[in-house]
Amino acid sequence: MGTENVTQYNKRVRLAFLAVAIALPLQFYVVYTQGNLYPALFLPAFNSVLDNGEYMHLEIRKLYAVAGTGQRTEVSYKNVFNNLTEYHGRHTMDRLFVPQAGTEYATLDNKTKLWLYERLITITGEKEVVQFEIDYYDYSFDKKYPDTPVITPIKTIRVNLND
Protein backbone atom coordinates (compact mmCIF):
# COMPACT_ATOMS: atom_id res chain seq x y z
CA MET A 1 0.00 0.00 0.00
CA GLY A 2 1.51 3.35 -1.00
CA THR A 3 1.75 6.21 1.48
CA GLU A 4 -1.13 8.10 -0.16
CA ASN A 5 -3.31 5.00 -0.16
CA VAL A 6 -2.45 4.39 3.47
CA THR A 7 -3.46 7.95 4.34
CA GLN A 8 -6.77 7.59 2.48
CA TYR A 9 -7.36 4.23 4.09
CA ASN A 10 -6.64 5.64 7.55
CA LYS A 11 -9.05 8.50 6.92
CA ARG A 12 -11.81 6.05 6.07
CA VAL A 13 -11.07 4.01 9.17
CA ARG A 14 -11.15 7.13 11.36
CA LEU A 15 -14.47 8.09 9.78
CA ALA A 16 -15.86 4.63 10.51
CA PHE A 17 -14.87 4.97 14.18
CA LEU A 18 -16.41 8.45 14.31
CA ALA A 19 -19.64 7.27 12.67
CA VAL A 20 -19.98 4.39 15.11
CA ALA A 21 -19.13 6.60 18.09
CA ILE A 22 -22.08 8.82 17.07
CA ALA A 23 -24.43 6.01 16.02
CA LEU A 24 -24.07 3.94 19.19
CA PRO A 25 -25.45 6.57 21.60
CA LEU A 26 -28.25 7.38 19.12
CA GLN A 27 -29.41 3.78 18.89
CA PHE A 28 -29.05 3.49 22.66
CA TYR A 29 -31.45 6.45 23.00
CA VAL A 30 -33.96 4.87 20.56
CA VAL A 31 -33.86 1.48 22.28
CA TYR A 32 -33.95 2.94 25.79
CA THR A 33 -36.91 5.22 25.04
CA GLN A 34 -38.84 3.09 22.53
CA GLY A 35 -37.33 -0.40 22.82
CA ASN A 36 -38.30 -1.26 19.28
CA LEU A 37 -35.25 -1.50 17.08
CA TYR A 38 -33.37 -4.35 15.42
CA PRO A 39 -30.54 -4.70 14.67
CA ALA A 40 -29.25 -2.73 17.63
CA LEU A 41 -26.14 -3.18 19.72
CA PHE A 42 -27.54 -3.02 23.18
CA LEU A 43 -27.03 -5.48 25.99
CA PRO A 44 -29.48 -4.52 28.72
CA ALA A 45 -30.58 -7.22 31.10
CA PHE A 46 -32.29 -7.10 34.45
CA ASN A 47 -32.62 -3.32 34.50
CA SER A 48 -35.63 -3.03 36.75
CA VAL A 49 -35.65 -3.03 40.54
CA LEU A 50 -38.61 -5.09 41.75
CA ASP A 51 -38.02 -4.06 45.31
CA ASN A 52 -39.57 -1.02 47.03
CA GLY A 53 -37.19 -1.13 49.98
CA GLU A 54 -39.64 -3.02 52.20
CA TYR A 55 -41.06 -5.73 50.00
CA MET A 56 -40.27 -7.34 46.68
CA HIS A 57 -43.24 -7.62 44.37
CA LEU A 58 -43.51 -10.13 41.57
CA GLU A 59 -46.42 -10.51 39.17
CA ILE A 60 -47.01 -14.21 38.69
CA ARG A 61 -49.29 -15.61 35.99
CA LYS A 62 -50.92 -19.02 36.25
CA LEU A 63 -52.54 -20.57 33.21
CA TYR A 64 -55.50 -22.95 33.28
CA ALA A 65 -57.44 -25.01 30.79
CA VAL A 66 -61.07 -25.52 31.77
CA ALA A 67 -62.49 -28.77 30.41
CA GLY A 68 -66.11 -29.39 29.40
CA THR A 69 -66.54 -31.28 32.68
CA GLY A 70 -65.51 -28.15 34.62
CA GLN A 71 -62.12 -29.65 35.49
CA ARG A 72 -59.52 -26.84 35.77
CA THR A 73 -55.98 -27.96 34.88
CA GLU A 74 -52.91 -25.76 35.29
CA VAL A 75 -50.72 -25.57 32.19
CA SER A 76 -47.36 -23.86 31.70
CA TYR A 77 -46.89 -21.17 29.07
CA LYS A 78 -43.78 -23.02 27.92
CA ASN A 79 -46.03 -25.93 26.99
CA VAL A 80 -48.73 -23.78 25.44
CA PHE A 81 -46.29 -21.75 23.35
CA ASN A 82 -43.99 -24.68 22.64
CA ASN A 83 -43.13 -23.38 19.17
CA LEU A 84 -41.78 -20.12 20.62
CA THR A 85 -38.89 -19.52 22.98
CA GLU A 86 -39.68 -18.81 26.60
CA TYR A 87 -39.63 -15.02 26.46
CA HIS A 88 -41.43 -14.83 23.10
CA GLY A 89 -44.17 -16.92 24.71
CA ARG A 90 -44.69 -14.49 27.55
CA HIS A 91 -44.60 -11.43 25.28
CA THR A 92 -47.06 -13.05 22.90
CA MET A 93 -49.37 -14.07 25.73
CA ASP A 94 -49.45 -10.53 27.16
CA ARG A 95 -50.12 -9.05 23.74
CA LEU A 96 -52.84 -11.47 22.62
CA PHE A 97 -54.80 -11.95 25.81
CA VAL A 98 -56.09 -8.43 26.46
CA PRO A 99 -59.64 -8.26 27.86
CA GLN A 100 -62.27 -6.21 26.10
CA ALA A 101 -63.18 -3.01 27.92
CA GLY A 102 -65.34 -3.63 30.99
CA THR A 103 -65.01 -7.42 30.82
CA GLU A 104 -62.50 -10.06 31.78
CA TYR A 105 -62.83 -11.83 28.43
CA ALA A 106 -60.25 -11.59 25.67
CA THR A 107 -61.13 -12.48 22.10
CA LEU A 108 -58.85 -14.13 19.59
CA ASP A 109 -59.08 -14.53 15.83
CA ASN A 110 -60.44 -17.92 14.74
CA LYS A 111 -57.09 -19.33 13.65
CA THR A 112 -55.42 -18.49 16.95
CA LYS A 113 -58.41 -19.77 18.92
CA LEU A 114 -58.35 -23.09 17.05
CA TRP A 115 -54.59 -23.37 17.64
CA LEU A 116 -55.04 -22.67 21.38
CA TYR A 117 -57.90 -25.18 21.63
CA GLU A 118 -55.81 -27.91 19.99
CA ARG A 119 -52.77 -27.11 22.14
CA LEU A 120 -54.81 -27.37 25.33
CA ILE A 121 -56.45 -30.63 24.22
CA THR A 122 -52.98 -32.06 23.54
CA ILE A 123 -51.52 -30.87 26.83
CA THR A 124 -54.41 -31.85 29.13
CA GLY A 125 -55.59 -34.98 27.32
CA GLU A 126 -59.20 -33.80 27.80
CA LYS A 127 -61.80 -34.46 25.11
CA GLU A 128 -63.03 -30.89 25.20
CA VAL A 129 -61.63 -27.62 26.53
CA VAL A 130 -64.14 -24.78 26.83
CA GLN A 131 -62.09 -21.98 28.33
CA PHE A 132 -58.54 -20.76 28.81
CA GLU A 133 -57.85 -18.67 31.90
CA ILE A 134 -54.90 -16.63 33.13
CA ASP A 135 -54.84 -15.77 36.83
CA TYR A 136 -52.58 -12.90 37.83
CA TYR A 137 -51.16 -12.79 41.36
CA ASP A 138 -48.99 -10.39 43.29
CA TYR A 139 -46.30 -12.25 45.22
CA SER A 140 -45.02 -9.98 47.96
CA PHE A 141 -41.81 -11.06 49.68
CA ASP A 142 -40.87 -9.65 53.06
CA LYS A 143 -37.08 -9.26 52.97
CA LYS A 144 -36.68 -11.14 56.24
CA TYR A 145 -38.89 -14.06 55.25
CA PRO A 146 -38.15 -14.65 51.59
CA ASP A 147 -39.55 -18.18 51.46
CA THR A 148 -43.11 -17.25 52.42
CA PRO A 149 -44.60 -14.71 50.01
CA VAL A 150 -47.96 -13.07 50.66
CA ILE A 151 -50.03 -13.97 47.60
CA THR A 152 -52.79 -11.58 46.45
CA PRO A 153 -54.96 -12.30 43.37
CA ILE A 154 -54.98 -9.34 40.98
CA LYS A 155 -57.19 -10.31 38.04
CA THR A 156 -58.26 -13.13 35.75
CA ILE A 157 -58.39 -13.03 31.98
CA ARG A 158 -60.50 -15.64 30.19
CA VAL A 159 -60.82 -16.81 26.61
CA ASN A 160 -63.95 -18.70 25.55
CA LEU A 161 -63.04 -21.58 23.30
CA ASN A 162 -66.45 -23.17 22.77
CA ASP A 163 -68.06 -20.53 20.55
Distance CA 45, CA 49 (A): 12
Q: Is residue 142 within 8 Å of residue 75, measured between CB atoms?
A: no
Q: Is residue 29 within 8 Å of residue 42, measured between CB atoms?
A: no
Distance CA 93, CA 23 (A): 33
- Residue selected from 15, 50, 98, 154 as contacting other proteins according to rule CB under 8 A: 50
Nearer residue to other proteins within complex by CB, 2 or 70? 2
26 counts as binding other proteins under rule CB under 8 A: no
140 counts as binding other proteins under rule CB under 8 A: no
Q: Spell out the residues 6+ positions from residue 156 whose beta carbon is closer than 8 angstroms to its own.
A: 104, 133, 134, 135, 136
Distance CA 47, CA 29 (A): 15
144 counts as binding other proteins under rule CB under 8 A: yes
4 counts as binding other proteins under rule CB under 8 A: no
Residues 87-116 that bind other proteins (CB under 8 A): 87-88, 90-92, 94-96, 108-109, 111-112, 115
List residues near other proteins by CB under 8 A. 1, 3, 6-7, 10, 13-14, 16-17, 20-21, 24, 28, 30-32, 34-53, 56, 58-60, 83-88, 90-92, 94-96, 108-109, 111-112, 115, 139, 141, 143-144, 146-147, 149
